[in-house]
Chains A and B, each alone.
Chain A
Amino acid sequence: MIEFAAIEGAYSLLTSSWSAWIWVLPGLLVGLFFGAMPGISITMAMAIFLPMTLYMDFLPAIIFLTSIYTGAGFGGSVPAVLMNIPGTSSAVATTFDGYPMARAGRHNQALGIALASSVIGTLSSYVLLLFLIAPVSRVVLKMGPLELFAVAVWGMVLLGSLAGTSLSRGLLAGVFGVLLGTVGMNTAGYIRGTMGVPWLLDGVPTIPAMMGLLAASQLLGLINTRYLIEDEASRQISLAKILGGFREALSYPSIIARGATIGVLIGAIPGVGSSISNLLSYSETKRNAPDGDTFGQGNPKGVIAAEAANSSSEGGAMATMLALGIPGGGATAILLAAFAMHNIVGGPSFIANNKDIVYAIIFSNFAQAILLLFVGLGFVYIAGYVVRVPLRYLIPSVLVVSTFGAYAISGSSSGPITLVVFSLLGWAMVRYNYPVAATVVGLLLGNLLEDNLLRTWQISGGDLSYALERPFAIVIFVLMVLSLTLSAIAKQRRRRRAATEAPVTPEIGS
């Protein structure tokens, strides 16, 4: 289950230099601040800070980004509890009972419960990852180029079909991303789609494009958002009551366990992640609780269920990303881009050859979760001010920081230009309900897909019957078609149900 030699390697990696540790606290703080600001998502925070990791070593860079991920997980729950605004999409279910608790004067307990559940959720998901990563790596190493191609396509299809509201729009977002990802010179030496621009020879600059799609585009959309938070009464913070919330959370281990399990499983599926897992865990807990009818009126169990699930999704998403090199959503796409920035290719061979680094990442996440407990406690004292940061200052400031980051990555105007083009594209896509995460993942995987398909073509000499010799690939393709059909049926049903409930303005052909 666990490879002890690699664990020893991880231990020496983490203890030989302070550079791996120095970024944990700043990462957590960045995550907490940005997560707590309404409108700023986890992925946005990670995308903005991604260019800064270029000049760090690989391990500190990944630790910094995962610290942001961990911090933002709890940060998002602060405005959810205090003002009924989920700081990130993964904190939606936290508002259901967190805010009623705050209205009843129990905001300290709610924050304590959210913090304790987040910490335990993150810890348990990484414990699971610790035990699973070695066996999983042995399985994925058996995969050839055709299987890798099949898995990448499956991931894309899942992401496209599950992330958006419309199957066709989701798939189009993913397919368009794949095409953009193949621009430039391919491994066979053909140069396509560069329009004579020299810097496109290496392909579309992935990181500025990603920052544009995930961060800048959302900022453009936020300009017309007005949160009525100025009117909200400021609330007294009490350490004793927050600790009381801790104890309350710990008295429901089964809810935390259920939430964490749902979080890990859902987090591992591309396209679903923490924004769904918190809702699923909430509804499951509500269904199973004897006092289910008090959910929504300030029942602490609701907060526990939501927070345990959204924070444990991180471990699940990391499992897919580390084992297969396939990001399940925006946050892991950014981590994979950070891998690429340090000339490290994620996927089966990475995990097999660098188990010490993988274990070091896992151990660092244990430390992050525990540190979050203390940093989070301190943060709630100032959180009331953070959630009030006016968007009119935030939007241009973050746009400028992103542009500096894009320039730092590319060293020329190509980065900022790519950032602008993709932020406009992203804004339009978000506006018309296309999942931009699918385009980002497509962009990242475009090259991988083409390389693996070309390799398969070259190995097989163009003989299609080669696929029959690779039954695992066929199984993946069959599973893909099945999951696609099922999600199409589910969406159709949901739409029909919605149509019978609210029979207005039907969309033609959707």
Chain B
Amino acid sequence: MTTDSQARLVVNWGHLALLAVIGGVVVAYLVDARGVSLRTNNLLLVQPTAILALILVAAVLPQCFRRVPEGEEAAAEPLSDLGRVGALAAAFAAFALSLETVGFDIATMLFMVVGLYICGERRWWLNLVFSAVFTVLLIYGYGAIIPFPFPLTIL
């Protein structure tokens, strides 16, 4: 963060991280595609599009920095809000990765209990009852539509 006499430069780190991810993916993809072959049939669309994407990343980059007049606070989101999103996202990722190993029934039940808690349901009995009923209904309901079985442990 830099400061001058009239205004402070505030960095939007989240936006910067997103741009870094997009830029990183584009560069990695371009390098990979060029590593496969340099022939036109391979790079005709990918190379110009990747270069355009990088130009656009460079064009958006300055938008991650804002000048805020001295003395004025930049509006910030409470960290607890971001924490809740992060916790739900982590639980969601764990759910998706564990589905096949622990079974859809256990994974769903666990994710529902944790998810409901993160989303604000603090009454444990209601949380457990809803999660259990929802899991059973979904597994049998979806199972009726889908012709192949979900890997299950208990149900």
Question: In the complex the two chains form, is B62's CB within 8 Å of A175's CB?
Answer: no
Question: In the complex the two chains form, is A223's CB within 8 Å of B96's CB?
Answer: no
Which B residues, 13 to 65, have Cβ-Cβ distances below 8 Å to chain A? 14-15, 17-18, 21-22, 25-26, 28-29, 32-33, 36-37, 39-42, 44-46, 49-50, 52-53, 56-57, 59-63, 65
Which A residues, 391 to 422, have Cβ-Cβ distances below 8 Å to chain B? 391-393, 395-397, 399-401, 403-404, 407-408, 411-413, 416-417, 419-420
Partner of B138, one of A175, A393, A400: A400
Partner of B148, one of A182, A192, A411: A411
Question: In the complex the two chains form, is A404's CB within 8 Å of B88's CB?
Answer: no
Tell me the bound Cα distance from A188 to B37 in angstroms: 11
Tell me the bound Cα distance from A251 to B69 in angstroms: 54
Per-residue CB proximity of A193-224 to B under 8 Å, as 1/0? Answer: 10100000000000000000000100011011
CB distance from A199 to the nearest CB of B (A): 14
Query: Which residues of A have CB within 8 Å of B61?
Result: 509
Question: In the complex the two chains form, is A508's CB within 8 Å of B112's CB?
Answer: no
A23 within 8 A of B: no
Question: In the complex the two chains form, is A396's CB within 8 Å of B56's CB?
Answer: no
Question: In the complex the two chains form, is A508's CB within 8 Å of B63's CB?
Answer: yes
Question: In the complex the two chains form, is A188's CB within 8 Å of B42's CB?
Answer: yes
CB distance from A466 to the nearest CB of B (A): 14
Tell me the bound Cα distance from A175 to B148 in angstroms: 36
Per-residue CB proximity of B124-140 to A under 8 Å, as 1/0? Answer: 00000010001000100
Query: Which residues of A have CB within 8 Å of B26?
Result: 176, 179
A510 within 8 A of B: yes
Question: In the complex the two chains form, is B44's CB within 8 Å of A457's CB?
Answer: yes
Partner of B116, one of A175, A224, A393: A393
Question: In the complex the two chains form, is B49's CB within 8 Å of A191's CB?
Answer: no
Question: In the complex the two chains form, is B96's CB within 8 Å of A179's CB?
Answer: no
Q: In terms of DSSP, what is the predominant structure of the interface of chain A?
A: helix
Per-residue CB proximity of B96-118 to A under 8 Å, as 1/0? Answer: 11011000100010011001101
Question: In the complex the two chains form, is A223's CB within 8 Å of B146's CB?
Answer: no
- Of the 9-residue stretches A63-71, A284-292, A310-318, A446-454, which lies at the interface with chain B? A446-454
Question: In the complex the two chains form, is B62's CB within 8 Å of A395's CB?
Answer: no
Partner of A413, one of B66, B69, B99: B99
Question: In the complex the two chains form, is A172's CB within 8 Å of B56's CB?
Answer: yes
B81 within 8 A of A: yes
For B87, give the chain A residue with the smallest CB separation: A223
Tell me the bound Cα distance from A432 to B14 in angstroms: 8
Tell me the bound Cα distance from A416 to B95 in angstroms: 9
Which A residues, 178 to 195, have Cβ-Cβ distances below 8 Å to chain B? 178-179, 182-183, 186, 188, 190-193, 195
- Of the 9-residue stretches A34-42, A268-276, A352-360, A423-431, which lies at the interface with chain B? A423-431
Question: In the complex the two chains form, is A396's CB within 8 Å of B119's CB?
Answer: yes
Tell me the bound Cα distance from A150 to B53 in angstroms: 18
Question: In the complex the two chains form, is B14's CB within 8 Å of A392's CB?
Answer: no
Tell me the bound Cα distance from A394 to B96 in angstroms: 18
Question: In the complex the two chains form, is B119's CB within 8 Å of A407's CB?
Answer: no
CB distance from A271 to the nearest CB of B (A): 17
Question: In the complex the two chains form, is B96's CB within 8 Å of A186's CB?
Answer: no
Query: Which residues of A have CB within 8 Å of B28?
Result: 193
Question: In the complex the two chains form, is A454's CB within 8 Å of B67's CB?
Answer: no
Query: Which residues of B have CB within 8 Å of A416?
Result: 95-97, 99
A55 within 8 A of B: yes
Tell me the bound Cα distance from A36 to B113 in angstroms: 26
Query: Which residues of A have CB within 8 Å of B57?
Result: 172
User: How many residues on chain A are close to B (CB under 8 Å)?
Assistant: 66
A166 within 8 A of B: yes
CB distance from B40 to the nearest CB of A (A): 7
Tell me the bound Cα distance from A169 to B40 in angstroms: 28
A507 within 8 A of B: yes
Tell me the bound Cα distance from A460 to B143 in angstroms: 51
Partner of A179, one of B46, B100, B134, B145: B46
Partner of A399, one of B49, B97, B115: B115
Which A residues, 205 to 262, have Cβ-Cβ distances below 8 Å to chain B? 216, 220-221, 223-224
Partner of B37, one of A190, A216, A404: A190
Query: Which residues of A have CB within 8 Å of B63?
Result: 166, 168-169, 507-510
Question: In the complex the two chains form, is B56's CB within 8 Å of A171's CB?
Answer: yes
Partner of A423, one of B15, B17, B92: B92
Question: In the complex the two chains form, is B66's CB within 8 Å of A507's CB?
Answer: yes
Tell me the bound Cα distance from A220 to B89 in angstroms: 7
Query: Which residues of B have CB within 8 Å of A424?
Result: 89, 93
Question: In the complex the two chains form, is B95's CB within 8 Å of A403's CB?
Answer: yes
Question: In the complex the two chains form, is B121's CB within 8 Å of A176's CB?
Answer: no
Tell me the bound Cα distance from A411 to B147 in angstroms: 10
Question: In the complex the two chains form, is B32's CB within 8 Å of A169's CB?
Answer: no
Question: In the complex the two chains form, is B142's CB within 8 Å of A408's CB?
Answer: yes
CB distance from A415 to the nearest CB of B (A): 9
Sample (18) of A-B pairs whose CB atoms are under 8 Å apart: A168-B59, A179-B50, A179-B53, A182-B49, A188-B42, A192-B42, A393-B130, A396-B115, A399-B92, A400-B111, A403-B99, A420-B96, A432-B15, A449-B45, A454-B41, A505-B69, A507-B63, A508-B65
